[in-house]
């Protein structure tokens, strides 16, 4: 059996405000698109921060490529492309400077692919990041997360700020393409229709617990829609979250 890219075992994380992750266990093999669904505060970002080594497992264990991301951050992060929810890019840089700066860190950076994405995302190389719209920043963030063809692409709420056309035609295609190449995508979302369109596998989180984790085809076979599955497993609708 192929070893999982992401292996999380009995991961629990508490904050003073409450339990953000409650005994999470997940094993995700490579070559697929994984959709992590949950309402605001469900624990999606906290789980992602553990995968990136930004939070240390208080209880349980986290392995990415078989490695502990806290103990071996360079070995893990050099193989991950990440787009954060905040998308905190340096505002003073121009798009072309951001591309030049980022490519210096990654030997596998693909110039032709970066240019293809820049053109598809209609990003002006001379545009100053600080003056760009939320959607333009999201596109720039996606470009630099993708252009070194990472083995694992982690996108935290990638569609926030993206217009529907970029979301459907570009983001979806990009994620499918990564999986077709045998690489792996994990993205979080509270938009069930988006997850239904692009994910191979769906994991539903609520109040820090996994309520359902299954191939999308199985979920579709058992429920009229992903929304119906969410209501059945989580007890309320994810829409409006
Ligand atoms: P959203 O869709 O709003 O981004 P989420 O599913 O990503 O939500 P998290 O950001 O992981 O959820 O938050 C889970 C819970 O943990 C929330 O109750 C949140 O308030 C809490 N939390 C997250 N980070 C911290 C922190 N650094 N300190 C205290 N509480 C935190």
Residue with tokens 């007890």: 235
Is pLDDT at 172 greater than 90 in this prediction? no
CA of 21 from ligand 1 middle (Å) equals 9
pLDDT for the residue 239:
56
Predicted TM-score of the model (pTM): 0.92
Average pLDDT over the chain, rounded to an integer: 90
Structure token pair of residue 129: 């990041």
Three-state DSSP class for residue 204? strand
Structure token pair of residue 126: 């001379």
Q: How far is CA 164 from CA 51, 76, 155, 170, in A?
A: 28, 32, 17, 10
Calculate what percentage of the chain has a pLDDT beyond 90: 64
In this predicted model, what pLDDT tens digit does every residue of 184-217 receive, in sequence order?
999 999 888 889 889 999 999 999 999 999 999 9
d(C-alpha 232, C-alpha 229), whole Å: 5
pLDDT for the residue 238:
64
Ligand 1, CB within 6 Å, residue ranges? 15, 17-18, 20, 38, 40-46, 85, 190
In this predicted model, what pLDDT tens digit does every residue of 18-30 receive, in sequence order?
999 999 999 999 9
CA nearest neighbour of 153 among 174, 129, 134? 174
The crossing angle, in degrees rounded to 10, of helices 134-146 and 95-103 is 20
pLDDT for the residue 241:
44
- Closest C-alpha to ligand 1, atom 26: 15
CA of 222 from ligand 1 middle (Å) equals 30
In this predicted model, what pLDDT tens digit does every residue of 41-75 receive, in sequence order?
889 999 999 999 999 999 999 999 999 999 999 99
For 103-130, what is the mean pLDDT? 93
In this predicted model, what pLDDT tens digit does every residue of 77-102 receive, in sequence order?
999 999 887 778 889 999 999 999 99
CA of 20 from ligand 1 middle (Å) equals 6
């Amino acid at each position: 059996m192929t070893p999982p890219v992401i292996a999380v075992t009995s991961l629990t994380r508490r904050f003073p405000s409450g339990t953000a992750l409650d005994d999470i266990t997940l094993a995700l093999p490579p070559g697929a698109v994984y959709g992590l669904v949950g309402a605001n505060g469900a624990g999606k970002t906290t789980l992602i921060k553990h995968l990136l080594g930004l939070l240390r497992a208080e209880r349980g264990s986290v392995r990415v490529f078989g490695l502990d991301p806290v103990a071996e951050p360079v070995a893990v992060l050099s193989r991950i492309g990440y787009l954060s929810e905040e998308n905190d890019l340096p505002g003073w840089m121009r798009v072309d400077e951001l591309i030049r700066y980022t490519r210096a860190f990654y030997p596998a950076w693909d110039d032709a692919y970066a240019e293809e994405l820049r053109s598809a995302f209609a990003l002006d190389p001379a545009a100053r990041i600080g003056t760009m719209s939320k959607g333009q920043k999201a596109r720039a963030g996606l470009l630099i997360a993708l252009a070194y063809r990472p083995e694992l692409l982690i996108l935290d709420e990638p569609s926030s700020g993206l217009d529907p056309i970029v979301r459907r035609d570009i983001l979806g295609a990009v994620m499918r393409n990564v999986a077709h190449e045998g690489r792996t995508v994990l993205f979080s979302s509270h938009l069930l229709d988006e997850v239904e369109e692009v994910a191979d596998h769906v994991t539903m989180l609520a109040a820090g617990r996994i309520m359902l984790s299954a191939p999308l085809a199985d979920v579709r076979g058992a429920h009229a829609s992903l929304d119906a599955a969410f209501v059945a497993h989580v007890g309320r609708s994810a829409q409006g979250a």
